[in-house]
Every structure is written in C-alpha cells, then in structure tokens.
Chain A
Amino acid sequence: AQSVTQLDSHVSVSEGTPVLLRCNYSSSYSPSLFWYVQHPNKGLQLLLKYTSAATLVKGINGFEAEFKKSETSFHLTKPSAHMSDAAEYFCVVSRYNFNKFYFGSGTKLNVKP
C-alpha cells in the first residue's frame, strides 16, 4: 500500500527566507514521488518528480526535493521564498511505473512581506 503524510497543514515564512515543506511516505514498492502546487482556483501543477534516478531532484521555480529512503522522506525546499509561492502544496506517491496517485492532505504556504 502507498500513502503520504504531510507533516504540516500550514507553513508561514517571510519573503526571502527558506521554505521547508515536509513529506513522509509509505510504500510497499519502489515509489515514485511528486510535488504538486495548487494556486487558488487553479489546477494542479507539477513542481518536480522522483522516479528512481538522482535522489536530489530539481524542479521549477527554484524548488528542489531530496529522496531519503532511510528516512522515508521527500521534503520540498526552496532557498528564498517569493510572494508568488503562496499556494497549497501536495506530496504524492505512486508505485514506480504504476500510475495511480496517492495524495497527501496538503500544506498551505503563506509568504509574508
């Protein structure tokens, strides 16, 4: 079975400071892991994905995530937050090369000026 736990439902940072959104996963198989962003009243946009290649994955808009098998984690980071990063972020797990996605409950990121 696959599942993800997003450890924080809300995160608030100041503009220009680092962002850390935490995600732990559970998977019976080699997982594929994704981060999606959802701006208000918008669709889901893929930020980055891990599919068993390099463990440090770089995505769009300066985000990156590191797959740590020993910790079953896939935390999302960004060195410097921008106001436009304010949105909801979803961590997603899928069995490697299997296309059913399991979403976490989401983390709302607030960026203060």
Chain B
Amino acid sequence: EAGVAQSPRYKIIEKRQSVAFWCNPISGHATLYWYQQILGQGPKLLIQFQNNGVVDDSQLPKDRFSAERLKGVDSTLKIQPAKLEDSAVYLCASSFQGAEGYTFGSGTRLTVV
C-alpha cells in the first residue's frame, strides 16, 4: 500500500513570499489532515477535511493560510505571505475511519528567511 505522499520535501523562501505544499493521501482515505510542527514542539492540527469539506480549521491562521481539497482526494496548503514564524515541518496525514489507518506523510520542511 502506497503511503501518504507529500511534496516538496524542502522549501526555502523569503518572508512575504508565497508557498504551496501538496499532499496525496492513501487511496480510499476520506479524511485528510494538515499539521504544523515547529522545531521542538509536537505537531499541531491546522485543518481537517472529510472528503472535500472542511471539518475543523479552528487553528488555521486564515489571514495567511489557506487549504483546499477540491475533488476529495489530494490537497494543497498555501501560505501567503509567509512570516519567519511559519518555519516548520508541514505534515499531511490521512485516515480511513476514525483513528483507523491514520498515516502520516514524511512532511515538507519550510524555512522562511
């Protein structure tokens, strides 16, 4: 079974630039999550999708972050404009039902300079 795919693996941008991350979940997984992991901290949930609908985006900084999952499969997370404090690893995860099959991708490491 293929895992959760994320790209790019690494990205370095200057502050105020924009950046986008892509995630392809495991086939058949209806639920998709984006997490932000700042160095030295545990991952924090940014947004959760069920199929192509948003279930929870309460911790997403909506003034600069946006995410979409238009066809209920892969997803894109965007930051515009980026700030220094956005430097983190962005993890995508997907699950089949509840906590069953909850699988993380390898993440995208973003450095904002």
Q: Does B91 contact A (CB under 8 A)?
A: yes
Q: Which residues in A have some Cβ–Cβ distance to B below 8 Å?
A: 32, 34, 36, 41-44, 46, 49, 51, 90, 94, 97-106
Q: How far is the CB of A55 from chain B (nearest CB, A)?
A: 17
Chain B contacts for A105, CB-based, 8 A: 40-42
Q: How far is the CB of B60 from chain A (nearest CB, A)?
A: 14
Q: Which residues in B have some Cβ–Cβ distance to A below 8 Å?
A: 31, 33, 40-45, 48, 56, 91, 93, 95, 97-99, 102, 104-107, 109
Residue of A at shortest CB range from B4?
A43
Main DSSP-derived SS at the A contact region: loop
The reply to whether A32 and B99 form a contact with Cβ atoms under 8 Å apart is: yes
Besides A43-B105, A44-B104, 18 more A-B contacts (Cβ < 8 Å) are: A36-B104, A41-B109, A43-B91, A43-B107, A44-B43, A44-B91, A46-B102, A98-B98, A99-B95, A99-B99, A100-B56, A101-B43, A101-B45, A101-B99, A101-B102, A105-B40, A105-B41, A106-B41
The reply to whether B42 and A103 form a contact with Cβ atoms under 8 Å apart is: yes
Chain B contacts for A103, CB-based, 8 A: 42-44
The reply to whether A100 and B48 form a contact with Cβ atoms under 8 Å apart is: yes
Chain A contacts for B99, CB-based, 8 A: 32, 34, 49, 51, 94, 97-99, 101
Chain A contacts for B41, CB-based, 8 A: 105-106
CA distance A94 to B48 in the complex (A): 14
CA distance A51 to B109 in the complex (A): 31
Chain A contacts for B95, CB-based, 8 A: 99
